[in-house]
């Protein structure tokens, strides 16, 4: 248990955790549905070619409108299997690819934007991952990151503290601080919104300098 508190969740933890989560993920993740819908609505308002980083089972894919083209990436073979089945009939999904967000295999300025939901607290270095998002986004493009971050008080503080010792088994860190994501080179933080349920989720929206 001590080790669970002393090192970040890594790729091996994620692969093993999401092999267990995959069959039940979308039921367990029901509380995140309103925030996912709102974030997808923002992407739809922008349109263009988006990277969905940590696409998981592809539960957001049906939420995007036809003006959005998508490439989805994720580390978990088991989650990707569900995403691929779902995407098979979707004309606006270009590809679903197994890839580590820590080092994206895309050229600079490839996408009009990046959307990353409920994934940034599962990576070993969240700031490095958002720097990667900045790199693959074209100048003037948009990066959006939605997640639960460390609660400083209230009922979520209690839940965070109870769950944090199990981070590696859960496959994410329930108490990751937001601060390292508030200043990312090359990105301007345009907004920081608290989303339902009860402010559990924060949506960070950045723009890349044009
Ligand atoms: C909680 S799920 C979220 C899935 C989806 N975005 C959603 O909203 O339902 C987190 C996802 O992040 C993926 N993930 C975690 N670390 C990753 C990494 N380093 N690179 C790529 N995907 C990663 C996991 O495999 C898992 O599918």
**For the ranges 22-26, 153-157, 202-206, which has the lowest average pLDDT?**
153-157
Taking the C-alpha atoms of residue 80 and residue 170, their distance in angstroms, rounded to an integer, is: 18
How far does the centroid of ligand 1 lie from the alpha carbon of residue 93, in Å?
Answer: 18
* The predicted structure's pLDDT at residue 62: 98
Whole-model pTM: value is 0.94
Q: pLDDT-based confidence at 1, cuts 50/70/90?
A: very low
143 Cα to the center of ligand 1, angstroms? 16
Q: Atom 13 (ligand 1): residue with closest C-alpha?
A: 54
Rounded mean pLDDT, 195-201? 87
Q: Is the pLDDT of residue 109 over 80?
A: yes
Chain-wide mean pLDDT for the chain? Answer: 94
Topology of 2-176+186-208 in CATH? Rossmann fold (3.40.50)
Look-up of token digits 């980083």:
53
> Which pLDDT score, from 0 to 100, does residue 155 have?
81
CA of 11 to the centre of ligand 1 (A): 10
Ligand 1: which residue has its CA nearest to atom 10? Answer: 119
CB 107 within 8 A of CB 135: no
Separation CA 189–CA 14 (nearest Å): 28
Q: Where are the domains of the chain?
A: 2-176+186-208
Helix, strand, coil content of the chain in percent (nearest 5): 40, 25, 35
């Amino acid at each position: 248990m001590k080790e669970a508190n002393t090192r970040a969740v890594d790729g091996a933890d994620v692969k093993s955790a999401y092999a267990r989560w995959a069959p039940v993920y979308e039921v367990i993740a029901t509380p995140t549905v309103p925030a996912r819908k709102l974030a997808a609505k923002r992407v739809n308002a922008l349109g263009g070619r988006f990277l969905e980083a940590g696409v998981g089972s592809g539960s957001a894919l049906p939420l995007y409108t036809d003006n959005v083209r998508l490439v989805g990436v994720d580390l978990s073979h088991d989650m990707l299997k569900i995403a691929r089945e779902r995407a098979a009939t979707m004309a606006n999904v270009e590809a679903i690819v197994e890839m580590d967000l820590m080092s994206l295999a895309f050229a600079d300025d490839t996408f009009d934007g990046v959307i990353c939901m409920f994934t940034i607290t599962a990576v070993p270095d969240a700031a490095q991952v958002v720097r990667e998002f900045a790199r693959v986004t074209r100048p003037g493009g948009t990066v959006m990151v939605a997640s639960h971050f460390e609660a400083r008080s209230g009922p979520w503080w209690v839940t965070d503290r109870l769950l944090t010792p199990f981070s590696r088994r859960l496959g994410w860190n329930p108490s990751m601080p937001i601060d390292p994501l508030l200043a990312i080179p090359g990105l301007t933080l345009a907004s920081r919104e608290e989303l339902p349920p009860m402010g559990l989720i924060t949506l960070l929206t950045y723009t890349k300098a044009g």
